[in-house]
Each structure stands twice: as C-alpha cells, then as structure tokens.
Amino acid sequence: MIVGERKPFDEIKDSIRDYQKIMLLGCGTCVSVCLAGGEKEVELLASQLRIARQLEKKDLEITEATIQRQCDREYIEPILETARGCDAVVSMGCGAGVQLLAEMLANSPVIPALNTRFIGITEAEGVWSERCRACGDCKLGIYGGICPVTVCAKGLLNGPCGGASQGKCEAGDDRDCAWELIYQRLSQQGRLDNLKNLAEPMDYKLQARPLRLVKEC
C-alpha cells in the first residue's frame, strides 16, 4: 500500500490562512490503513483547525468528507459540486490523489495535508516499512521475494558490498543487510544457484517519468 504521514500542523494551518471555507477530503484506502488520511483523521484535523482559527478570532467553515479513493475519477465526481463551492480543498490523500483532484478542480486550489512516503507493508500495529520502489522490472522471483533495490540501502543488484558486518548494514539504524537476508532465504529454499549469475544493470527506460500503463480490453 501507499504509506503517507500527516504534514506538521503549523504547515497545514499556514497553507489555508487565506481561506475561510475549505473542504477537508479524506481517502478511505491506503492512507486510511496507515492512520494518516481516513475519516477519523479528517475529523481530528478539522477540529484542530477550527480551534486554531477560533483562537485567532477568525472564521473558518470546514466541510468534511471521505471518499473511497482519491486516485479514481468515479469517486471524486460526487463531491465536485460541493468542492467547487469552497475556497480550497485540503486533500488527506496520497500525492496521486492530490494531483487528480487538482486536475478535476482546475479552478480551485488543492492543498496536500500529507507527505507520501513509500510503497510498503504493515509490520505491526502502527508500524509500516518500505518494500517496493515500483522500478518496473520486478526481480523478486530471483532474490527469494526480497527486493535488493528497496531493502538494500545502496540498491545493489549484485551484493553484498564490503560494508556489512554481522548481518547488519553499514548505513546504520540497526538495518539488516538485504543481501544477508537474500542469502538466507535462497539457502532455505535450496536456490543459492540464483546468485551465481551476474545481474544485468537496471533498465532505467522503464522508470522514465511520468509512467503510463494501458491495458488492452
């Protein structure tokens, strides 16, 4: 899933200082799961913004809404009329959602309330970690389901480097060496022969931005 986190409150408050009527729009999918932009987070931020404006003795009208996905037009269309009646829309979705909203509300400011961090997994309650860089040429089948592009701090396709010690990466933060993990996984599966072949350099044409995928019907 896409993992995001809320921007500092003062940054959000400052971004809407010129507006008196805003829509605070949450997203019910990825950022809801990581407790950053779902219905509860919309309600909390709305309360905080109202209190801050009251302390400044300034008016602020907030329309709260949460849609299933901000990255799909069909879910945005029902709230467009209400959104256009506001001075600005504050999105609690990922960067993709913010951009689609801005495209569909071209005459209205759309302001992000989150920072999009990475594509990752849930490790435990309240803990998420990055697992995918969306490189466009997945090699997980070769490396035992562990991505060296993402999990290795240096993104090495042919590792390990000389900086690992006792299974830990020299980059610090008590990170496991990705190549130690890959070796252990392939050994467990009886597939260490996978490491005998030198990996080809990544094809960066597959990452030429912005990317677009068209599925034939």
Q: Indicate which CATH number applies to the domain containing 107.
A: 3.40.50.2300
Final residue of a structural domain among 88, 118, 148: 118
Q: What is the pTM of this model?
A: 0.87
If we measure between CA atoms, which residue out of 132, 134, 84 comes closest to residue 104? 84
Residue 6 β-bridge partners: 114
Rounded Cα gap, residues 217 and 204, in angstroms: 28
Per-residue pLDDT, 84: 97
Final residue of a structural domain among 118, 141, 157: 118
Domain assignment of residue 76, yes or no: yes
In the predicted model, residues of the chain with pLDDT beneath 70 are none
In terms of domains, do 138 and 113 share one? no
In terms of domains, do 66 and 101 share one? yes
Domain that holds residue 75: 2-118
Domain assignment of residue 189, yes or no: yes
In terms of domains, do 75 and 145 share one? no
**Structural domains of the chain, count:** 2
If we measure between CA atoms, which residue out of 72, 95, 71 comes closest to residue 7? 95
Task: Count CB atoms within 10 A of the CB of residue 100.
Answer: 20
Task: Give the number of C-alpha atoms closer than 13 A to the C-alpha of residue 216, restricted to the C-beta side.
Answer: 0
Domain assignment of residue 51, yes or no: yes
In terms of domains, do 94 and 12 share one? yes
Final residue of a structural domain among 118, 147, 172: 118
In terms of domains, do 111 and 73 share one? yes
Q: Are 25 and 65 in contact (CB under 8 A)?
A: yes
| Cβ contacts of 93 within 8 Å, gap of 6 or more | 25, 26, 27, 31, 37, 70, 71, 101, 114
Domain assignment of residue 214, yes or no: no
In terms of domains, do 85 and 188 share one? no
Per-residue pLDDT, 145: 96
> Which DSSP category does 119 fall into?
E
Q: Are 146 and 184 in contact (CB under 8 A)?
A: no
In terms of domains, do 47 and 77 share one? yes
Domain assignment of residue 191, yes or no: yes
In terms of domains, do 41 and 18 share one? yes
